[in-house]
Amino acid sequence: MGMLGDMKVADPEIYKAIRKELKRQREYLEMIPSENFASMNVLRASGTMLNNKYSEGYPGKRYYGGNEFVDVIERLAIERARKLFGVPHANVQPYSGSPANFAVYSALCSPGDAIMGLNLTDGGHLTHGWKASITGRFFRSVPYHVKEDGYIDIQEARRLAIENRPRLIWIGSTAYTRELPFEEFATIADECGAYLVADISHVAGLVAAGVHKSPAQHAHIITTTTHKTLRGPRGAMIMVTEKGQRKDPELPDRIDKAVFPGLQGGPHDHTTAAIAVALLEASTPEFADYARQVVKNAKMLGEELMRKGVKLVTNGTDNHMLLINLTPFGKSRGVLAQEALEAAGIVANKNTIPKEPGSPFYPSGIRIGTPAITTRGMREGEMREIAGIMAEVLNQAKDYELPEDAAKREAYMRRYRKEIKANKAIKDARIKTLELCSRFPLYPEMRL
């Protein structure tokens, strides 16, 4: 009997879709930097009967009975998080990254308070105060930006902080390819009296492995998802540092109350168990080797792409991701490149670039990363192969141009998809990516 047991008979439609998704993951190069492949043990923990339990409250202080063993699991997850990240307090109950970040606002801010975060189109995150997010509507968002070279403008951030005296400052990103300047922002936050919150969702695994500096000595609070470079389930954590406790001894309690009962009901106990498994895996020498390889691969991929004439924001990376600037071919080209790459077997995502000339829906960049392909076992040699494939694919897409009239774009994209899939060079690239995937099988032990 396979992993899904009798589902093939009980619900053949869902069974078929899951099998097709497994086939897709096996046969494509997953290069969205926020995606990864969890281990079989993480998947096993996530799929247990822990799904059945309600556990409102915290270990030893539950509202329902029957939580003896759930308490054991959550305490293990908490202790492993504290040890791995060097913090005195951890909350492992947030459902995902955005709810975790909003819990921080709930614990620290009142509506209308000034807050600061990296501007979305400069590489920031929706929940750091972007205007379309509830965080940009409930609070007075004062975004900081990157400079012409793509690096965070620390002097601008300091000036804005002194002028606006924000209640909290975010340091974190979704599309920033350089090491996050925790120390510099700690100085800024201390100078203006703000709480500094480090959102390390993208680099948590790199921080845990020591290949990206840690914010534990500099920030008051750390938030992170658990499914990106940490290679766990889709969950999140909020951690309070020693510095945070010194600033506010009640901060751990305020965070816990903001999560429950402030914003959430019962935690997802199956996810808590899977987080605990992932944290244990992340504490091993093997995981440290993996994280180092993620960065080596990203650096090699970036060097090879630039050697082939592809323009990168900041001319490279310090972490797991690269941001390709497609403006030499015209604006709003991210969607065209994304479609062409996927037709060739490479899954990436369109993304804004600094000083974006287009829009978030039709941006001028492509964001790629190495966590998932490194999990499959690929190294520098494969990065050279992938760079060659990508450069050829981008070259095939460069002569297409989205209509300026937005009403004509849907029909244009339908024609474009057909043409790009029929392109001989794209078909040849697809053969190469299939061969590459076959050399590094994904979940070979998984039977459906």
21: number of Cβ within 10 Å: 11
Torsional sign, CA 50, 53, 55, 61: negative
Backbone angles phi, psi at 146, to 5 degrees: -105, 160
Q: Write the DSSP assignment of 39-83 as a string of letters.
A: -HHHHHHHTSGGGG----EETTEESSS--HHHHHHHHHHHHHHHH
DSSP structure class, residue 118: B
Alpha helix positions (H), 198-333:
204-209, 242-247, 251-257, 269-282, 285-307
Chain CA centroid to CA 13, Å: 30
Q: Say how far apart CA 410 and CA 396 lie, in whole Å.
A: 20
With a pLDDT cut of 90, the percent of the chain lying above it is 93
Q: Cα Rg for the chain, rounded, in angstroms?
A: 22
Residue 154 has pLDDT above 50, yes or no: yes
Cα distance between the two ends of the chain = 8
Measure the CA angle with vertex 202, ends 361 and 224; round to 5°: 110
> Which single residue is written with the structure tokens 């849907």?
410
Taking the C-alpha atoms of residue 303 and residue 320, their distance in angstroms, rounded to an integer, is 13
409-413: Cβ within 8 A, 24+ apart: 409/362, 413/335, 413/339
Which 3 state secondary structure label does DSSP give 89?
strand
Mean pLDDT of the chain: 96
| Identity of the residue numbered 215 | P
State mean pLDDT over 168-176.
97
The predicted model gives 174-187 an average pLDDT of 98
- Both tokens of 125, joined, read 């995150």
265-292 burial, b for 16+ CB within 10 Å, e for fewer? ebbbbbbbbbbbbbbbbbeeeebbebbe
Report the interhelical angle of 68-85 vs 269-282 (nearest 10°). Answer: 40
In this prediction, residue 1 has a pLDDT band, given cuts at 50, 70 and 90, of very low
DSSP code, position 354: T
pLDDT given at position 338: 97
Instruction: Specify whether the CB–CB gap between 145 and 104 falls below 8 A.
Output: no
Task: Record the tokens describing residue 371, joined without a space.
Answer: 């966590």
Residue 2: predicted pLDDT: 64
Question: Which pLDDT belongs to residue 332?
Answer: 78
Over residues 33-81, the pLDDT tens digits come to 999 999 999 999 999 999 999 999 999 999 999 999 999 999 999 999 9
What the block records as the tokens of 15 is: 């069974």
- For the chain, the farthest-separated pair of C-alpha atoms sits apart, in whole angstroms, at 64
Q: What is the DSSP string of 153-173?
A: -HHHHHHHHHHH--SEEEEE-
Lowest mean pLDDT among 97-101, 128-132, 270-274, 358-362: 358-362
* Nearest CA among 259, 261, 256, 201 for reference residue 231: 201
Distances, alpha carbon 371 to alpha carbons 31, 141, 296, 335, 363, in Å: 8, 32, 11, 22, 23
240, β-bridge pairs: 89, 221
Task: List active site positions.
Answer: 54, 56, 199, 225, 228, 234
Where do the H-state alpha helices sit in 216-259?
242-247, 251-257
pLDDT, residue 131, reads 93
CA pseudo-torsion sign 350, 351, 355, 360: positive
CA 217/CA 190 separation, integer angstroms: 13
The first and second tokens of residue 88, run together, are 């005195």
Lowest mean pLDDT among 87-96, 127-136, 329-338: 329-338
Domains and CATH numbers, the chain: 45-282 (3.40.640.10), 285-439 (3.90.1150.10)
- Structure tokens given for 285: 């020498």
Q: What is the per-residue pLDDT across 360-397, written as a single tens digit (0 to 9) for each?
A: 889 999 999 999 999 999 999 999 999 999 999 999 99
Q: Which tens digits make up the pLDDT trace of 291-319?
A: 999 999 999 999 999 999 999 999 999 99
**Alpha-helical segments (H) within 344-402:** 371-375, 380-397
For 339-349, what is the mean pLDDT? 98
Confidence of residue 125 (pLDDT cuts 50, 70, 90): very high
Secondary structure class of 415 (helix, strand, coil): helix
